[in-house]
Amino acid sequence: MVNESLVIHFATGRLWATLIQMKHAQVKNKADYQVALSTFIKSLNEIPKSGEVWCEGARLMMASNSGF
């Protein structure tokens, strides 16, 4: 549903943050982490000033220090 919404509302930080959070929740190994990180980077290309996106990026960076 989030992916479909982003097709129409591609400049909505809350949707991108939700997608990043969902990808992050699925992380079980380094490859999964890379998928979440690439989603974060893609979101920055679409909406670089979203505080919600940056907060999810910070969560990813903090999680990378825990073994990924």
> pLDDT by residue for the chain (68 residues), tens digit each?
888 888 888 888 999 999 999 999 999 999 999 999 999 999 999 999 999 999 999 999 998 766 65
Whole domain around residue 16: which residue ranges? 2-64
Q: Which residues, in sequence order, are CB contacts of 63 under 8 Å at separation 6+?
A: 24, 27, 33
Count of the separate structural domains present in the chain = 1
Please report the pLDDT score of residue 66 as a whole number.
61
Sign of CA dihedral 7, 9, 11, 14: negative
Contact 39, 23 (CB under 8 A): yes
Stated pTM of the model: 0.86
CA dihedral 28, 63, 37, 48 (to 10 degrees): 150
